[in-house]
Chain A
Amino acid sequence: MSDRAIRVRDLRVRLDGNLIVGGVALEVARGEWVTVIGPNGAGKSTALRAIGGLLPFTGTVELDGTPVDRLPRRERAKTIATVSQSPTVPPGMRVLDYALLGRTPYIPPLGRESAADLAAVDEVLESLDVARFAGRRLETLSGGERQRVFLARALAQGAGILLLDEPTSALDIGHQQEVLELIDRLRAERSLTVLTTMHDLTTAGEYADRMVLLAEGVVVAAGTAREVLTEENLAKHYRVRVRVIEGDHGPLVVPVRG
């Protein structure tokens, strides 16, 4: 087994003929949390979806040492779980049934959920503190509660690698912190590898072990938050004037009026 959970080399993705990701390389060690940042249109989400095997790409994406395009779909779904930026909420579906969708790769074709699948989902719902919503319809939950249910579905896949596209974009700052703390706790408890995209730079820096800055489809900076979140980097790639202040858990990025 490789100690690299994710290894990406020369990743290129075209959408409708446009080159969105133009040769990205990145690595995520087992158990590590890496956050991809970058201005709108930098290709963060696209790169993440390609790594999850959800978009066609050229280049190499290896998950636990195996090229993602060589994994059968069901095996891939047991290896890597993606929570997209705004997951579809199927009308009328209950939280329990939604989380059980995560067990799809374990259910044989023509089969149904086994007791083991139900137990796995119960455990996940309990651990995310959403078990009391099991019988509620998903659309009746608040944003923060929903985000935890989306996570529950991903965790139910039993995958060691979690891809999260903007996991906090729909949440207020209180719930942002709550969800990120939760992800960090789950990462420790379940030894998960986390690769996420985020917009809020300060928060991103506080939780990530390492960061990757994308601009126009390529990696322009990578390293610790202190190395990536510099005034020069942000001025150059976000075209913004910021003050970077030393905080307790990493740099605090404060935009200032130009």
Chain B
Amino acid sequence: MTKADVARPAGLRAGWLAGGVVAVLVALIAGLAFGSVSLPPAGVAAELLNLLPGVHLHSGLTDREVAILTELRLPRVVLGLLVGGLLALAGAAYQGVFRNPLADPHLLGVAAGAGLGVTAVISLRTGAIGDATANLPIGVPVAAFAGALGAVALTWLLGAAGGRDRSPATLILAGVAVSSFLAAGQTYLMQQHVETLREVYSWLLGRLATAGWHDVLIVLPYAVVTAVIVLAQRREFDVLTVGDEEATGLGLHPQRSRYLLIVAASLGTAAAVSVSGLIGFVGIIVPHTMRLLAGPSYRSILPLSVLFGGAFLALADLLARTAGGQAEIPIGVVTAFFGAPFFIVVLRRSRGAS
């Protein structure tokens, strides 16, 4: 730490912001350049710039390559950036409002609640069978949001039953119980509606595979609302770290902030789950890495989680597309592969601290 740094309040440093933007650009170009057909990264960058108004660069790509780039890969990479950013932001927000380093959209049961909601609308609807979000662009996110809020409320109530001195693990245990319960409900629904099994299953494993922009357009408004609400309150997150009573003494309304932020984070989780299924661990890997690298202030953790979370998921998707040879690996498998060991590390650290 330099001397000038000492005199400045905690917050997002320009260097880290630039690092996050670079990470997003690297993920974007890598995600566009590599795949079943490899394209030269410089040409990809030139074509990306050509999308900006008034720019006309010669990229050296054929028309067919440009079509792969802009119509197949770009929507998928952008969706990865959005979903990854949302999941990481939601994870950081849950960690802040619950003052719990282990909180994560999946471990709290929020994603399972959203999953049950989506499964319910897919299974119970009448009519065309096909792609979930293509057929139900409004119904799926709304059902996901309802399921997500119900699940987080249930987890919170169960976790609070442990009394005031509960450890961080109590809330997570409650989340695991809620997740199992909701997953059981989901399995039951799937069993009862075998005709939609395939559709639900392909969505459930986590996917960014659907081509076209409609998933991006579905998730975008929710992403904007979530990001605006959560990022606007980033200083409140830091005040909340001293606990509710002291935060009250400092003029805050902790419970009111907490409700608002839980709703916002659950909205973001629900939107992400609606379009991409269950992709785990992003909400825990990314915020904790940011905390380790850029410091404990939520004023840097929250915005950096958006950028690095997006980059992380876009790169994980690249791995999912390319590492398995012909068959794609479900992206949820890739993130779990990295996330589960990471979670053990966080668990050990949080036990050491308490």
Asked if A105 is at the interface of the complex by the 8 Å CB criterion, the answer is: yes
Inter-chain contact B295/A92, CB cutoff 8 Å:
yes
Q: Hey, which chain A residues are within 8 Å of B241, CB to CB?
A: 88, 90, 93
Tell me the nearest residue of chain A to B243, going by C-beta: A88
Inter-chain contact A96/B6, CB cutoff 8 Å:
yes
A:94-117 near B, CB below 8 Å: 94, 96-97, 100-102, 104-105, 107, 110-113
Count of residues in A whose CB is under 8 Å from the partner chain: 36
Inter-chain contact B7/A105, CB cutoff 8 Å:
no
User: How many A-B pairs fall under 8 Å by CB?
Assistant: 82
Q: Hey, which chain A residues are within 8 Å of B248, CB to CB?
A: 53-54, 73
Asked if B53 is at the interface of the complex by the 8 Å CB criterion, the answer is: no
B300 shortest CB reach to chain A, Å: 11
Inter-chain contact A87/B253, CB cutoff 8 Å:
no
Q: Hey, which chain B residues are within 8 Å of A96, CB to CB?
A: 6-7, 9
Q: Hey, which chain B residues are within 8 Å of A104, CB to CB?
A: 235, 239, 250-252
Q: When each residue 133-156 of chain A gets 1 if its CB lies under 8 Å from chain B and 0 otherwise, what string results?
A: 011000000000000000000000
Asked if A52 is at the interface of the complex by the 8 Å CB criterion, the answer is: yes
Q: When each residue 22-56 of chain A gets 1 if its CB lies under 8 Å from chain B and 0 otherwise, what string results?
A: 00000000000000000000000000010011100
Asked if A81 is at the interface of the complex by the 8 Å CB criterion, the answer is: yes
A155 shortest CB reach to chain B, Å: 13
Partner-A contacts on B (CB < 8 A): 1, 5-7, 9-11, 232-233, 235, 238-239, 241-243, 245-246, 248-253, 291, 295-297, 353
28 contacts between A and B (CB under 8 A): A54-B245, A73-B248, A73-B251, A73-B252, A77-B249, A77-B251, A81-B249, A84-B245, A84-B249, A88-B242, A88-B243, A90-B238, A90-B296, A91-B296, A92-B295, A93-B241, A93-B296, A97-B9, A97-B297, A101-B239, A102-B250, A104-B252, A110-B233, A111-B235, A113-B9, A118-B9, A134-B7, A157-B250
Partner-B contacts on A (CB < 8 A): 49, 52-54, 73-74, 76-78, 81-82, 84, 87-88, 90-94, 96-97, 100-102, 104-105, 107, 110-113, 118, 122, 134-135, 157
